[in-house]
Amino acid sequence: MSTQMSVFSSQEAAQPQWGARAILSFSEAGATIHIGEGHDLGAVQRAGRTLDGQGIALVALSGEGWDLESVWAFYQGYRGPKKKNALEWDALSEADQAELEARIRATDWTRDIINKTAEEVAPRQLATMAAEYIKSVAPAGTVKAKIVKDKDLLTEGWEGIYAVGRGSERTSAMLQLAFNPTGDENAPVFACLVGKGITFDSGGYSIKPGQFMTAMKADMGGAATITGGLGLAIERGLNKRIKLILCCAENMISGRALKLGDIITYKNGKTVEIMNTDAEGRLVLADGLMYASAQNPELIIDCATLTGAAKNALGNDYHALLSFDDELSHQALTAASQEKEGLWPLPLADFHRGMLPSNFADLSNISTGDYTPGASTAAAFLSYFVDDYKKGWIHMDCAGTYRKSASDKWAAGATGMGVRTLARLLVDQTK
């Protein structure tokens, strides 16, 4: 006896016995999703989540009405972190099928690596896995990768990554990956993508309470998301030279770990006093942004699970966007809207740059005082490491990469949200 369930789509309301707002009904033929006349993709995703939650492991999307976006919506809801279910659908057009499979590859890789334990994904492993994934989706011969690790970080001047990770037994690493489909070794670098890759964040000596530490294997969500975005952009035909820079470390406590009051001297001469070891993401990103600036790109994008302030402001359903470049911000927000992903602007102004005073260094790594805008001052800190921070740079504080518990649309764990937005922004910018 087959255990596969057929799932149909209908614009008609469910019969009254299923409830006035029912999105699912059942019959001998299978389940029907009632999407309404507006073709509610949210209802499709919620239905997928419901069926997975009921333990229905084999689903075939049957009948009419299943196009690219509806299949994708169902897939996002139906996919759980344990990956014990299987989904079938009727063949789409060649172009739509290729796009769907590319989305699945990019977001599955992103979700899977975020969901893995910190024991499985140490800093060097994250850098290696990211490079292997990009090589797997890029045309042969278009990717070169270098991983700078351990004491070599100091040799090259990447003091922030080294300092944050020195308390861990697992060595830190910086991935410097070049994607060049032009065939011209002298082609200008169009964009640099920088990701925060903190593979576990204990908070260091500013230690997190236990309930805030349980999800900290996901503190590399920015690195995973921006890598997935590049992978999808490549599959969508990205044709410009791009550099991916991942700043990978584990923030742990030991006799060698960063202490409050320590001062880091960065490659650009900026000195930073450590007033909170749990504000470590900005310390590693500073190195990545300096490396990015040195490539003279037209565009710099960084992604990071950087602040609790962004999550408090926006919840799990939106990433925060911060930038001094209004035109670029508009383009990013448009890309998110077109991809049906959550992205929302938070303020970033010059006065935020003045809210990081230190008595002993150029900057403190946190702002002080009551009601400080934590997401804005974190972005302001990063701006000190971007050569032309007023133009061509956007910062994404990735509040929505990971959910500690399931919702009506998402399984617990990583979401892959933001991957499609980044891919669209990259491709659109190169047209």
Contacts of 315 (CB under 8 A, 6+ apart): 399, 400
Task: Please confirm, yes or no, whether 282 is among the known catalytic residues.
Answer: yes
- Check: CB of residue 292 under 8 Å from CB of residue 243: yes
Among the options 217, 241, 243, 282, which is catalytic?
A: 282
Range list of H helices, 236-319 = 281-294, 308-314
Task: Please confirm, yes or no, whether 256 is among the known catalytic residues.
Answer: no
Among the options 105, 135, 208, 267, which is catalytic?
A: 208
Token pair belonging to 297: 């790109």
Contacts of 84 (CB under 8 A, 6+ apart): 57
- Label the pairing between strands 5-10 and 58-61: parallel
Coil, strand or helix at 180: coil
- CA 426 to mean position of chain CA atoms: 15
Place of tokens 């507006």: 38
Contacts of 283 (CB under 8 A, 6+ apart): 160, 161, 163, 164, 264, 272, 274, 365
Contacts of 101 (CB under 8 A, 6+ apart): none
Q: How large is the C-alpha radius of gyration of the chain? A: 22
**Which residue numbers are catalytic?**
208, 282
